[in-house]
Chains A and B, each alone.
Chain A
Amino acid sequence: MSEVLLELDDIACRYDALLAVDGVSLTLARGEIGCLLGPSGCGKTTVLRAIAGFEPLERGIVSLAGEAIATPSAGLPPDRRGVGMVFQDYALFPHLSAEGNVAFGLRDGSRRERRRAASELLDLVGLGGLGDRYPHELSGGQQQRVALARAIAPRPRLVLLDEPFSNLDVDLRERLGLDVRGLLKAQEIAALFVTHDQHEAFLLGDRIGVMRQGRLLQWDTAFVLYHQPGDRFVADFVGQGRLVPGRISGPGVIDTPLGPIRGHLPGGGAAGCAVDLLLRPDDVLPDPAGPVEGVVAARAFKGAETLYTLRLPDGTEVLCEVPSRLDYAVGARLRIRAEIEHLIAFRH
């Protein structure tokens, strides 16, 4: 087990009447990249701001490398925390060049040495030679890189990134995201970033937390979140899928509108218990001998595959992803069966 760098212990933050963050606990190891994922207004940015020292705590403790840096009664001011931050709007200093921005947080050494360090960092983020440019002379992606270089220049133990790619073009996001991840890993700097884009979270985060209404619902790897969601909201929010009603009829068997589905049911459950079963698009297969027939209600062509929304005779909807050479029109009928290894069911 690697050493714990950041620990949030049951923290809460309040804006007037609203408890924006309500009992969030998590740990992040040295060099690890964590991600808070959730819809807008879920409190994920407030968690970052509380760690940075911009929001007071209502309760709980924030610890960095085993040392408490914030409690409800006291907190280290932001300028003493040694935590870097990349803001959503980058917040570059408009009166300083790219190099001046990066050198802003550097204190040690002569002016020459600081300038050299800043220009090396700019090389590192792929902006070599652009040090003289002012923020308004840089593109959005370049500004983002300057903001990152500026945040990691004082060699913080932890960097916080607030929706770092949300202002960028879609095709730039993935490339820049992987660059940032590679850079943070190479520099062995831990990071926590927030996003509402699950692809970004899966791409970048070693650990991902799903937040909703100020609460952290689950804090796990992408694989576990996808395959073992601990919560109805997480199941719905992460990946695609539909919850279909069912009833446990025996050990590892659930009766559903698609017929009985067998699989490993963690935690078991008494026979007769009503549950909702999560069906991912790849759990539903077209099969001429399948037990049930669905009507194509909607289709979304995705290149290699097509995602169909099928309505079953009892009105239940399921998603089904098939290779796109199998082409069905809206209104077409299609026999299907379900095939799942690990059943994910939530009791009523």
Chain B
Amino acid sequence: MRRGTAIARTGTRRPPLAGRILRSAALGLGATVAIPLGVLFSVWATPQTEVWAHLAVTVLPTLARNTLALLAGVAAGTAILGCGLAWLTARCEFPGRRWLDVALMLPLALPAYVLAFVVQGALDASGPLQLALRQAFGPAAPSLEVRGTAWVVVILSLAFYPYVYLLARQAFLGLGRGTLEAARLLGLGPWGTFFRVALPAARPAIVAGLSLALMETLADFGAVSVLGYDTFTTAIYKAWFGLFNLAAAAQLASLLLLVVALALLAERRLRGRARFHETARGAPPPRLALAGALGWLVAGLASTVVAVAFALPVLQLLTWVLATASVELDSRYLDLLWHTLLLGGSAAFVTVSGALIVSLARRQFADLPTRAAVGLSALGYALPGSVLAVGVMMCFAAVDNGLNALWQSAGGQRLGPVLGGSIAALLLAYLVRFLAVAAGPTGSALERLRPSTIEAARSLGTRGGDLARRVYLPLLRPGLLTAALLVLIEVMKEMPATLLLRPFGWDTLAVRVFEFTSEGDWRRAALPAVTLVLAGLPPVAWLARRSALQAHGD
């Protein structure tokens, strides 16, 4: 019986402590996402009737009208641009198609607020266009003002159409040769094939792309504030920084959240059961050759989109940068860059760690609480940054109040904010917002790790830290690095949450863009903006390479 006791000490049936820690951590992350949202709605329990009545009369009608107009306009704009261009590049052949195929993804690297201020600056009274007009026509030249719904819709559509373009293009590429040829044999012409076969078949992908574009529209703060257009996000900012009324901000944020939830529900409805798009096997159908003038016309149209949505704005930015670089490119800029990278790097580390925990827990546990936590952790990406900022701020304010009360009851002086306005609040907001971004590459890296690989390492005598260092880490490294890079870039571009939550002195490039543009100083905003565009290019290159591989049936 000595044997029996000898092995009992090292038994495998010992409660797996590491597993329990992992599961608790995943549940904690789920709660981290859920709590700020819950807190937002808690303000309705003690409604500030006075403020609310004021808001309801003064701003709500405008907000509702603007938001609806924006949603309808951007939906139409991105659908037409995205689907049309996707069909042309995926199914047709025209001069420069290969080049335009990739170039049409480039606007993804240009944040909407950068596009907005470049257009604003290029077209304002002292901009190159108006100067040229005045030289040609004298004082009678028509003046342009980049304001109002139409301008906002055009600019946001140009900024967000790539979401629809990417997904629709993939769906069109995946259409089987047989499907399209059958449609032709049944008597449909090229237009009939597009409207009656291709478009319905690609509907799930198109709806998914549209919903991404509309979520970005609802979340957008920078572009609408540059263009002086009132939406929920600008109203939240004003309530917080203008009226210093966090409760009113929370009430507005919860309304915006309701719109987001409705949009998500509508997406589910529209996508229906066809959630996954089967990629057809076999040879792709031949492209429709657009010969002669038609081909050149299409090439011209697509090039115009690339030019207006990316090339010309970047060119304008670069001319501004050249004009201001000698002054702006100083140690303050380097400080700014350093702060942005430091913040993005810390956020990437925290977020990727969180994503790793969630992915590991999902792989190991199938119980209801864990699954709920995993599902919740993916929701953060749908939250507008301003909504999230208000939720996080309210949580931290509650904790601060508690701490202050405790400290004062112990005879101390009032401390003021402890956690609110600290770097922790900002990192928490980034974690919640970008957990889903990091979970993608992290989860797929983990899925590629076969259980037998781990078992082989175990049977060769490794375990614990040794196992993590020699097997898990090297195999997961590429996926984790991709996830970290994506989060870093997202954090660099993020504007509203950073603006609302950043501690004093923690300005990022995006914040500096906001500050310069709100003073109409487009030229000085150009350098940080160009830096952001450069940072946005690697993920676009990665997308382009992946889609090129897919197009070759790899």
The proximity string for A residues 63-95 relative to B, scoring 1 for CB distances below 8 Å and 0 otherwise, is 000011111011111111111110111011111
Q: Bound state CA distance, A51 and B257, in angstroms? A: 55
Smallest CB–CB gap between B450 and chain A, Å?
6
Tell which of A54, A71, A76, A91 touches B4, judged by Cβ atoms closer than 8 Å: A71
Is A52 among interface residues, defined by CB-CB distance under 8 A? Answer: yes
Is B456 in contact with A85, judged by CB distance below 8 angstroms?
yes
Residue of B nearest to A89 (CB): B452
Is B3 among interface residues, defined by CB-CB distance under 8 A? Answer: yes
Is B10 in contact with A77, judged by CB distance below 8 angstroms?
yes
Q: Bound state CA distance, A150 and B462, in angstroms? A: 13
The proximity string for B residues 439-454 relative to A, scoring 1 for CB distances below 8 Å and 0 otherwise, is 0000000000010110
What are 17 inter-chain pairs, A to B, with CB distance below 8 A? A53-B458, A56-B12, A69-B7, A74-B4, A74-B7, A75-B11, A76-B7, A77-B10, A77-B458, A84-B460, A85-B455, A91-B450, A91-B453, A104-B460, A104-B470, A105-B462, A150-B456
Smallest CB–CB gap between A109 and chain B, Å?
15
The residues of A that contact B461 with a CB separation of less than 8 Å are 79-80, 82, 105, 107, 154
Is A104 in contact with B4, judged by CB distance below 8 angstroms?
no
Q: Bound state CA distance, A54 and B455, in angstroms? A: 8
The residues of A that contact B470 with a CB separation of less than 8 Å are 104
Is B4 in contact with A68, judged by CB distance below 8 angstroms?
yes
Is B8 in contact with A87, judged by CB distance below 8 angstroms?
no
The proximity string for B residues 234-277 relative to A, scoring 1 for CB distances below 8 Å and 0 otherwise, is 00000000000000000000000000000000000000000000
Which DSSP category, helix, strand, loop or mixed, fits chain B's interface?
Answer: helix
The proximity string for B residues 2-17 relative to A, scoring 1 for CB distances below 8 Å and 0 otherwise, is 0110011011110000
Tell which of A52, A75, A94 touches B459, judged by Cβ atoms closer than 8 Å: A52
The residues of A that contact B10 with a CB separation of less than 8 Å are 74, 76-77, 80
Is A93 in contact with B471, judged by CB distance below 8 angstroms?
yes
A67 and B471 in contact (CB under 8 A), knowing A52-B455, A73-B8, A78-B459? no
Is B460 in contact with A71, judged by CB distance below 8 angstroms?
no
Q: Bound state CA distance, A11 and B546, in angstroms? A: 50
Interface extent on B, as a size class?
A: 20 to 34
Is B7 in contact with A78, judged by CB distance below 8 angstroms?
no
The proximity string for A residues 262-284 relative to B, scoring 1 for CB distances below 8 Å and 0 otherwise, is 00000000000000000000000
Residue of B nearest to A74 (CB): B11
B interface residues, Cβ below 8 angstroms from A: 3-4, 7-8, 10-13, 450, 452-453, 455-463, 470-471, 474-475
Residue of A nearest to B463 (CB): A79
Residue of B nearest to A106 (CB): B460
The residues of B that contact A88 with a CB separation of less than 8 Å are 452
A87 and B3 in contact (CB under 8 A), knowing A74-B8, A75-B12? no
Residue of A nearest to B467 (CB): A79
Is A73 in contact with B458, judged by CB distance below 8 angstroms?
no
Which DSSP category, helix, strand, loop or mixed, fits chain A's interface?
Answer: loop
A75 and B455 in contact (CB under 8 A), knowing A56-B13, A95-B475? no
Residue of B nearest to A105 (CB): B460
Residue of A nearest to B460 (CB): A105
Is A68 in contact with B463, judged by CB distance below 8 angstroms?
no
Is B456 in contact with A91, judged by CB distance below 8 angstroms?
yes
Q: Bound state CA distance, A87 and B455, in angstroms? A: 9
Tell which of B455, B462, B463, B474 touches A91, judged by Cβ atoms closer than 8 Å: B455
The residues of A that contact B450 with a CB separation of less than 8 Å are 89, 91
Q: Bound state CA distance, A75 and B470, in angstroms? A: 24
Q: Bound state CA distance, A2 and B129, in angstroms? A: 97
Q: Bound state CA distance, A82 and B458, in angstroms? A: 10
The residues of A that contact B462 with a CB separation of less than 8 Å are 79, 104-105
Residue of B nearest to A162 (CB): B452
Smallest CB–CB gap between A13 and chain B, Å?
13
Residue of B nearest to A81 (CB): B459
Residue of B nearest to A107 (CB): B461
A84 and B475 in contact (CB under 8 A), knowing A68-B7, A74-B8? no
Is B3 in contact with A67, judged by CB distance below 8 angstroms?
yes
Q: Bound state CA distance, A107 and B13, in angstroms? A: 27
Q: Which A22-75 residues have a C-beta within 8 angstroms of B?
A: 52-54, 56, 67-71, 73-75
The residues of B that contact A52 with a CB separation of less than 8 Å are 455, 459
The residues of B that contact A153 with a CB separation of less than 8 Å are 460
Residue of B nearest to A96 (CB): B474
Q: Bound state CA distance, A103 and B547, in angstroms? A: 39
Residue of A nearest to B3 (CB): A68
Is B13 in contact with A78, judged by CB distance below 8 angstroms?
no
